[in-house]
Amino acid sequence: MTNMSINNKTALITGASSGIGKALASEFAKDGYNLVLAARGVVNMQAVADAIQKRHQVMVTVIGADLETQEGAAQLHADIKARGITLNALVNNAGYGTFGEFSQSALAPELAMMQLNMNTVVTLSKLFLPDLIATKGKLLNTASTAAFQPGPYMAVYYATKAFVLSFSEAIAAELEGTGVTVTALCPGPTASGFQDKADMHDSALVKGKKLPTSEEVAAAGYRAMRRGQRVFVPGAMNWVMAQSVRFTPRNMVTMMVKMMSRPVQPVH
């Protein structure tokens, strides 16, 4: 921890070592939030922290946390409370996808992904909600346009994001009147570490496509969170697609996603 903060607002951002989470960290810092950055990549997060502290007068705390383990989220909460920190904003952003046919893919990475993308989101939301209620704070959950329909070749990932969207909207309604706002940020394909991690460069969803940057998605998502928007889909075409599935037969939607996501090379 370095530099004195000029205010006392603090945001926890999970998955802040790269991509959208790293870009969200800059958005919060620009607004004067002190930051707690959490992910496994401590070296990358320290570099993010150093760059932010050069530009903004905020305190940045880096915590190494493996959030796809059963105890990871509770341990992170305990670490933050041991430092005497109260959160004004919680950003559940850490997540990843796995790409491939469900009949061929390994179970263990899919269960680990479910732990990170869903259980950790629920656990951190539950444990930090007293802070957010006390501070009339902000909860920002990174879902995906994957949340709006089933996703052949990324079946488990799409289902985890449907969970995040449903969960976020439901607790947003419960929290009405408390001053806490909940925003589900639903990006479409975005340039980040995601495609490498999912091993999906051969998917027609991304192959040869110019994707928006993580910085563009984070800036728009941050503005949506500030205005308290419950569901935010960055990008006009992504928004149209997310809306159109509501009026299209589900089998047709699923078939279209299958075509759009198909491996350009066969997957194993």
Ligand X SMILES: NC(=O)c1ccc[n+]([C@@H]2O[C@H](COP(=O)([O-])OP(=O)(O)OC[C@H]3O[C@@H](n4cnc5c(N)ncnc54)[C@H](OP(=O)(O)O)[C@@H]3O)[C@@H](O)[C@H]2O)c1
Q: Which residues are catalytic?
A: 157
Q: Which is nearer to ligand X, 97 or 137 (CB)?
A: 97
Q: CB 136 → ligand X: shortest distance, Å?
A: 25
Ranked by CB distance to ligand X, the top (closest) residue is: 19
Residue type, 236: A
Residue 191 Cβ vs ligand X, minimum distance, rounded to whole Å: 7
- Closest CB to ligand X among residues 42, 134: 42
CB distance 144 to 163 below 8 Å: no
Question: Residue 75: is it exposed, middle or buried by C-beta count within 10 angstroms (0-12/13-18/19+)?
Answer: middle
Q: What burial class does residue 247 get, using C-beta atoms within 10 Å of its C-beta: 0-12 exposed, 13-18 middle, 19+ buried?
A: exposed
Backbone angles phi, psi at 184, to 5 degrees: -100, 115
C-beta of 234: minimal distance to ligand X in Å?
A: 10
Using alpha carbons, select from 170, 160, 196, 184 the residue that is nearest to residue 242: 184
Q: Toward ligand X, which CB reaches closer, 32 or 212?
A: 212
How far, in Å, CA of 258 to CA of 105, rounded? Answer: 17
Q: Residue 17 or residue 61: which is nearer to ligand X going by CB?
A: 17
Which residues form the interface with ligand X (CB under 6 A)? Answer: 14-21, 39-41, 65-68, 93-97, 116, 142, 144, 187, 189-190, 192-194, 197, 214
152 vs 179, beta carbon nearer ligand X? 152
| Closest distance of CB 152 from ligand X, Å | 17
Q: How far is the CB of 69 from ligand X (least distance, A)?
A: 7
